[in-house]
Amino acid sequence: MPWLDVPTLLLALLLLPFGLVVGSFCNVLIHRLPQEEEAERNVTTKASHCPSCKAPIKPWHNIPLFGWLWLRGKCAACGWRIPFRYPLVELLGGLIAAGSVWVLPFGTLVWLKGVVCAFALLVLFFTDFTEFILPDAVQFPLMALGVLFTLPSLFLGERLVTIFGADPQAFLKVDLWFNGLQAAPLWTTYGEPVTLLQSLVGLAIGYGAPALFNLLYKAVRKTDGMGMGDFKMLAWLGAFFGVGPMLGILFLGAFLGAIVGLPLMLIRREGGQMMLPFGCALALAVLPIWFYGPMAWSWYMGRMAVGG
Ligand SMILES: [Zn+2]
């Protein structure tokens, strides 16, 4: 008997509205968490309001995507043009929830971990992109969560469940508590799980190594190479995935940052410092490493062995 007897497409349609609503809450976090004032950072009790004129938003105008379309992208009270980011983040939230069931086995720990990670990256990408801030209120809980995700397999052991695969003809056996990287959507081929020790070491190195790098950088250039938020992001990514994949994310992120950043520096050529949201580059690097990192690494090691 399958663990959950619902076809993938139906599951995706059921999850879509949840994703849109969570995406809408992500917009609240993205707008409020980087605020200077303590009271402005309240994301739970304060009702939704227009950031421009502070008028409360009517419930039917607050429906994800449709509210924005209904209002044609403008505040009903003051006509303030609602940034395109709002419907975009809601749409991405919907896609994360609906798409998750195709790439990860729904209802298992690795699915939950993937969805939590994706929504966290959605928030961090946009706070870094718009305000150059990676809020502690998001990143510290993620550090703890990354470690917690390793505990069920440690205490509860392997538990195989059967679920619908992306191919509706084939049922798949998956470990309910698996928490590592895998070549999705091939759920039959597992990577190594992340152990408690790997998670803690990843957390420590993610926080420590860039801090050391910055001390050296500061001694030479008299300025910070990376912001504190970037270390914390590497720390929770280390807790989620262990040291190896975290370093993979760091290198791919630096590579992506260089591709985008170097041409920009040449164009501007103001000689001064230029702010680049490195958290955005890290966020974009997570997905390829999650799904293709282990494969790329074993290919590389194989080449090394053959090439000598
Ligand atoms: Zn307004």
DSSP class per residue in the chain: --SS---HHHHHHHHHHHHHHHHHHHHHHHHHTT-SSTGGG--SSSPPB-TTT-PBPPGGGSSTTHHHHHTTTB-TTT--B--THHHHHHHHHHHHHHHHHHHS-TTSHHHHHHHHHHHHHHHHHHHHHHHS---HHHHHHHHHHHHHTTHHHHHH---EEEEE-SSTT-EEEEETT--S-B-TT-TTSB-PPPPHHHHHHHHHHHHHHHHHHHHHHHHHHSS-SS-HHHHHHHHHHHHHH-HHHHHHHHHHHHHHHHHHHHHHHHHH--SS-----HHHHHHHHHHHHHHHHHHHHHHHHHHHHHH-
Are 93 and 30 in contact by the 8 Å Cβ rule? The answer is no
For the chain, what is the domain count?
Answer: 2
What is the average pLDDT score of the chain? 83
Residue 1, in any domain of the structure: yes
Q: What is the mean pLDDT of residues 265-287?
A: 76
Res 18 pLDDT > 90: yes
Res 117 pLDDT > 70: yes
User: pLDDT value at position 282?
Assistant: 93
Res 269 pLDDT > 60: no
Share of the chain above pLDDT 70, in %: 84
Res 147 pLDDT > 90: yes
pLDDT digits (tens, 9 = 90+) for 202-249: 999 988 877 777 777 777 766 666 678 888 999 999 999 999 899 999
CA of 261 to the centre of ligand 1 (A): 35
193 cis-preceded (ω within 30 degrees of 0): no
Res 113 pLDDT > 60: yes
CA of 77 to the centre of ligand 1 (A): 5
Same domain, 121 and 146: no
CA of 60 to the centre of ligand 1 (A): 15
Same domain, 66 and 96: yes
Same domain, 140 and 269: yes
CA of 308 to the centre of ligand 1 (A): 65
- Burial degree of 60 (CB within 10 A; 0-12, 13-18, 19+): exposed
Same domain, 120 and 143: no
The larger pLDDT score, comparing residue 216 to residue 55, is at 55
Q: Which residue(s) pair with 164 in the sheet?
A: 171
CA of 88 to the centre of ligand 1 (A): 19
CA of 99 to the centre of ligand 1 (A): 33
CA of 58 to the centre of ligand 1 (A): 12
CA of 56 to the centre of ligand 1 (A): 8
Res 165 pLDDT > 50: yes
User: pLDDT value at position 1?
Assistant: 46
User: pLDDT value at position 308?
Assistant: 43
User: pLDDT value at position 2?
Assistant: 52
CA of 21 to the centre of ligand 1 (A): 21
Same domain, 258 and 220: yes
Residue 23, in any domain of the structure: yes
CA of 40 to the centre of ligand 1 (A): 17
Residue 221, in any domain of the structure: yes
CA of 91 to the centre of ligand 1 (A): 22
User: pLDDT value at position 4?
Assistant: 61
Same domain, 2 and 103: yes
Question: Domain residues for 265?
Answer: 134-150+194-308
Same domain, 235 and 301: yes
CA of 120 to the centre of ligand 1 (A): 28
User: pLDDT value at position 156?
Assistant: 86
Cα(127)–Cα(24) distance, integer angstroms: 14
Q: How confident is the model at residue 261 (pLDDT cuts 50, 70, 90)?
A: confident
CA of 277 to the centre of ligand 1 (A): 29
Q: What is the mean pLDDT of residues 115-126?
A: 96
Are 282 and 237 in contact by the 8 Å Cβ rule? The answer is yes
259's tokens:
């591709």
Kindly report which listed range (41-50, 65-74, 215-224, 226-235) carries the lowest average pLDDT score: 215-224
Same domain, 144 and 63: no
CA of 132 to the centre of ligand 1 (A): 25
User: pLDDT value at position 180?
Assistant: 82
CA of 82 to the centre of ligand 1 (A): 9
Residue 169, in any domain of the structure: no
CA of 67 to the centre of ligand 1 (A): 14
Residue 43, in any domain of the structure: no
The larger pLDDT score, comparing residue 131 to residue 171, is at 131
Same domain, 73 and 122: yes
Enumerate residues 6+ apart whose C-beta is below 8 A from 109: 149, 152, 153, 176, 177, 178, 179
